[in-house]
């Protein structure tokens, strides 16, 4: 019996630890040949010397289990290194079929205290990093489609966050980057559909070094009990979205953690106001909008975690 991803090749960025590692291992388990990318810096803020060790260890783990994998030490936010990453997958495995963008860093601070460098660095790794790999992968698929005279196989799985959906006061750079990734995903989905390529995004909940502060109040369950925040519970959705079975999912956003997958809708109209004249005046808007917001709880904002019933006490 063939595996769902047998004969396919995949890139997973930021795959040396945590969520990326779990995703790379799962794709390999499902039959894919995997390029394990990681810049290997020790700090979750992107500090420390680059090291091939994290990517090499995961690639060796995959090979030891009988799979095919090669490590890549590279900064996906660097345009040329992203080009080399895609070229490595093509040269080693003949083609690229799946791209999972996961690499990221944190530089948390309130918006009034954040430095320009803290803003730029997070936008660079998350948003530009997603763009760089997507650019070269999509060019690869477009060229293959032209040569084949029709659609080819391609899957993109991007990593957003509930920090974008529900807000995160101390992460304006991270929330903005993750929101931008959703925009990149939906645009890419529309642009590449005719070539046979799908693009989707996930908002994962997983306990990793990136989220150790977020989930500080959640205790690791006793041995033998389900850890709903284990990265391994996110990986199966990534495997599914990378597979032929997910051909009907394109431009979608999923929230996922242990035992839960939520398919998000695009924003819907919450209220609509029409002017009684040809155009609105300040006075008319005051008469319509002020009562509307006065009827809502003070300081109320859209909080996806609460809407989804996922917020902890």
Give the span between the Cα atoms of 246 and 30, in whole angstroms: 14
Contact 10, 34 (CB under 8 A): yes
DSSP 17: S
Which residue out of 145, 160, 161, 243 is catalytically annotated? 161
Contact 181, 130 (CB under 8 A): yes
Which residue out of 121, 138, 160, 174 is catalytically annotated? 174
Residue 302: both structure tokens together: 């859209």
Which residue out of 178, 195, 240, 243 is catalytically annotated? 178
Provide the 10 A C-beta neighbour count for residue 272.
5
Contact 31, 5 (CB under 8 A): yes
Concerning whether 160 is annotated as a catalytic residue, the answer is no
Report residue 71: phi and psi, to 5°: -90, 150
Concerning whether 178 is annotated as a catalytic residue, the answer is yes
Angle, helices 53-64 vs 18-29, to 10°: value is 30
Give the span between the Cα atoms of 200 and 188, in whole angstroms: 9
SS3 81: helix
Would you list the DSSP string of 187-224?
HHHHHHGGGTEEEEEEEE---STTSTTTTTTSPPPPTT
SS3 114: coil
Give the span between the Cα atoms of 169 and 268, in whole angstroms: 24
Contact 199, 159 (CB under 8 A): no
What kind and span of H or E run contains 84?
Answer: helix 79-93
Concerning whether 243 is annotated as a catalytic residue, the answer is no
Give the span between the Cα atoms of 150 and 11, in whole angstroms: 23
Q: Are strands 253-257 and 260-263 parallel, antiparallel or unpaired?
A: antiparallel
Catalytic residue positions, numbered: 161, 174, 178
């Amino acid at each position: 019996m063939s595996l769902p991803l047998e004969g396919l090749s995949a890139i997973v960025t930021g795959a040396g630890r945590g969520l990326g590692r779990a995703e790379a291992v799962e794709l390999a388990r499902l039959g894919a040949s995997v390029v394990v990318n990681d810049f290997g810096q020790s700090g979750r803020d992107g500090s420390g010397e680059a090291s091939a060790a994290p990517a090499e260890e995961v690639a060796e783990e995959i090979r030891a289990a009988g799979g095919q994998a090669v490590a890549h030490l590279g900064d996906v936010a660097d345009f040329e290194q992203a080009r080399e990453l895609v070229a490595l997958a093509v040269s080693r495995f003949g083609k690229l079929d799946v791209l999972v963008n996961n690499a990221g860093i944190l530089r948390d601070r309130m918006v009034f205290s954040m430095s320009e460098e803290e803003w730029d660095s997070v936008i660079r790794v998350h948003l530009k990093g997603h763009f760089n790999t997507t650019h070269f992968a999509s060019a690869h698929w477009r060229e293959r489609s032209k040569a084949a005279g029709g659609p080819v196989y391609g899957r993109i799985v991007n990593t957003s966050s509930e920090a974008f959906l529900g807000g995160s006061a101390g992460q304006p750079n991270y929330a903005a980057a993750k929101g931008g990734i959703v925009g990149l995903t939906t645009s890419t989905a529309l642009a590449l559909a005719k070539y046979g390529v799908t693009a989707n995004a996930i908002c994962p909940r997983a306990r990793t070094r990136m989220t150790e502060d977020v989930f500080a109040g959640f205790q690791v369950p006793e041995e033998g009990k389900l850890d709903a925040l284990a990265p391994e519970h996110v990986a199966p959705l990534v495997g599914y979205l990378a597979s032929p079975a997910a051909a009907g999912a394109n431009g979608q956003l999923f929230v996922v953690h242990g035992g839960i997958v939520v398919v998000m809708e695009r924003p819907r109209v919450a209220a609509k106001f029409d002017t009684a004249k040809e155009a609105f005046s300040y006075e008319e808007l005051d008469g319509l909008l002020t009562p509307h917001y006065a009827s809502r709880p003070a300081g109320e904002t859209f909080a996806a975690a609460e809407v989804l019933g996922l917020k902890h006490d």
